[in-house]
């Protein structure tokens, strides 16, 4: 489980240090930075997949993802006495992402490349400047286990430091060093954990959506992020012995309804959803957007292979408000096995989640263009030091 997330200089987030719990509910008005926080988490996940630089480039490169305001906002800037200005114009800008875990913690910093002596078409590619893995939640030089500075990666070996690579490419994360036999086990362990993070962001439910078409069915403990293997994922939940949980989740949302998975044309799987008042079951192609989306979220949340972290971005989209309490109960159940994040606007969903004792509300607001936690003062911030 992550205990703290820290983001700096990323879009509307100049500096944010957030304490986390098992069930984290991110809320706030439009433009407060909810999606930016979600994207920051995705970027962190990309580091372990080897795609952080490409992901940043897809977002428009560092020049557009860097926080566009000043490093620090003074009281006089807030009251309008002086104009908002860069406070440290000479300092190198860094986009920083990091988290504290119960055993290891990690931080990465990215910046613009140094000018090269030879021509390159990639002069806007961000570079990984620094990455660190340390023991415990708080960075201290003495607790550092793996240290990457520019092209050099060092691991602690007893009291000594061992250089594992002096020529790491500026776009490769230290998680790339896993193949290196001498590299530290912390790299592998952290990489596997981050790779397991699961993101679900707006399932498609239009007429052409992958979830509406029959699909070749194989055992599927993890629903694909576009929902293409919905029928196989539901059948897997049934066959691993979770049929009662599944039926309970269906009756919670659709009293009197039931669900079956059928193989059609050989091994293609399709859904049959029986609802009260209908003479024949409906297939996935015929379900309403809201019903299909609920079934997708249900398959994601009832996964027989819970991840260390699951992130749902605005799961309420196109769900009927009556379905939200049932969805909230599914989310609360999933948080027993995974750390869960929910980014949401839907009051009814938020209300039921927050009634839960174990819920950590993350209420965002924008002050002078900066995303902040509502009511967080300096003293409430979890302790966090960026590696220097």
Ligand X SMILES: Nc1ncnc2c1ncn2[C@@H]1O[C@H](COP(=O)(O)OP(=O)(O)O)[C@@H](O)[C@H]1O
Distance CA 4, CA 324 (A): 28
Comparison of 64 and 74: residue with beta carbon closer to ligand X: 64
Nearer to ligand X, 147 or 314 (CB): 314
At closest approach, how far in Å is the CB of 229 from Mg ion?
Answer: 27
- 8 Å CB contact between 317 and 234: no
Nearest to 71 by CA among 127, 10, 9: 9
Residue with tokens 């069930």: 23
The size of the interface with ligand X (CB under 6 A), counted in residues, is: 17
Burial status of residue 355 (CB atoms within 10 A of its CB: 0-12, 13-18, 19 or more)? exposed
| 105/372 with CB nearer ligand X | 372
The residue (of 337 and 366) whose beta carbon lies closer to ligand X is 366
Long-range contacts of 151-159 (CB under 8 A, 24+ apart): 153/177, 153/183, 155/182, 155/183, 155/184, 155/187, 156/184
- Binding window for ligand X (CB under 6 A); candidates: 31-39, 77-85, 143-151, 281-289: 31-39
For the bound state, the minimum distance from the C-beta of residue 227 to Mg ion, rounded and expressed in Å, comes to: 21
- Which of Mg ion, ligand X, none does residue 198 bind to, with CB < 5 to 8 Å depending on kind? none
Q: Is 35 a binder of ligand X (CB under 6 A)?
A: yes
Residue 140's φ and ψ, nearest 5 degrees, are -140, 145
50: its two tokens: 């080897």
29 vs 185 by CB, closer to Mg ion: 29
**Part of the chain binding ligand X (CB under 6 A), chosen from 33-41, 104-112, 227-235, 276-284:** 33-41
- Residues 59-98: x/- map of binding to ligand X (CB under 6 A)? -----xxxxxx-----------------------------
Q: Which is nearer to ligand X, 68 or 82 (CB)?
A: 68
What does the alpha-carbon distance between residue 380 and residue 18 come to, in Å, rounded to a whole number? Answer: 10
Q: How far is the CB of 64 from ligand X (least distance, A)?
A: 6
Residue 96's binding partner among Mg ion, ligand X, none (Cβ under 5 to 8 angstroms by kind) is: none
31, 210, 290, 325: which one contacts ligand X (CB under 6 A)? 31
Q: How far apart are CA 361 and CA 344, in angstroms?
A: 11
N-to-C CA span, the chain: 25
Which of the residues 339 through 378 are near ligand X (CB under 6 A)? 369
Q: Running DSSP on this structure, what letter comes out for residue 208?
A: T
Closest approach, Cβ 12 to ligand X, in A, equals: 4
Q: Which of 8, 12, 168, 220 binds ligand X (CB under 6 A)?
A: 12
Task: Indicate the residue among 230 and 349 with the shorter CB distance to ligand X.
Answer: 349
Q: Which does 388 bind (CB under 5 to 8 A by kind): Mg ion, ligand X, none?
A: none
**Kind and range of the H or E element at 53?**
helix 52-58
Q: Which has the closest alpha carbon to 343: 330, 324, 362?
A: 362
């Amino acid at each position: 489980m992550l205990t703290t997330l820290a983001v700096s200089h990323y879009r509307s987030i100049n500096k944010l240090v957030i304490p986390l719990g098992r069930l984290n509910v991110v809320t706030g008005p439009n433009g407060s930075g909810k999606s930016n926080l979600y994207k920051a988490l995705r970027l962190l996940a990309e580091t372990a997949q080897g795609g952080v630089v490409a992901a940043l480039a897809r977002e428009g490169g560092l020049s557009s993802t860097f926080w566009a305001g000043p490093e620090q906002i003074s009281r006089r800037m807030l009251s309008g006495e002086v104009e908002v200005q860069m406070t440290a114009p000479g300092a190198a800008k860094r986009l920083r992402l990091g988290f504290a875990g119960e055993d290891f913690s990690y931080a990465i910093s990215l910046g613009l490349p140094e000018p090269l002596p030879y021509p390159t078409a990639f002069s806007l590619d961000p570079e990984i400047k620094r990455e660190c893995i340390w023991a415990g939640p708080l960075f201290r030089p003495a607790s550092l286990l793996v240290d990457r500075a520019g092209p050099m990666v060092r691991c602690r070996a007893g009291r000594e430091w061992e250089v594992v690579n002096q020529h790491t490419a500026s776009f490769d994360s230290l998680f790339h060093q896993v193949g290196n036999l001498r590299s530290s086990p912390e790299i592998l362990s952290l990489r596997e954990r981050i790779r397991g993070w699961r993101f679900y962001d707006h399932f498609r439910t239009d007429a052409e959506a992958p979830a509406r078409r029959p699909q070749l069915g194989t055992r599927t403990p993890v629903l694909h992020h576009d929902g293409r293997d919905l029928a196989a994922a539901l059948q897997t939940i049934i066959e691993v012995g979770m049929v009662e949980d599944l039926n309970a989740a269906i009756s919670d949302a659709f009293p009197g309804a039931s669900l079956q998975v059928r193989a059609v044309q050989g091994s293609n799987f399709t859904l049959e959803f029986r609802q009260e008042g209908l003479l024949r079951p409906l297939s996935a192609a015929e379900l309403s957007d809201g019903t299909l989306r609920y079934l997708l979220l249900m398959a994601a949340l009832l996964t027989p292979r819970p991840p260390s972290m699951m992130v749902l971005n605005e799961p309420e989209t196109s769900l009927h408000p009556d379905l939200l309490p049932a969805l909230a109960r599914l989310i609360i159940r999933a948080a027993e096995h995974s750390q869960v994040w929910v980014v949401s606007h839907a009051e009814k969903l938020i209300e039921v989640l927050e009634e839960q004792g174990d819920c950590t509300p993350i209420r965002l607001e924008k002050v002078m263009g900066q995303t902040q936690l509502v009511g967080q003062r300096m003293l409430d911030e979890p302790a966090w030091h960026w590696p220097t």
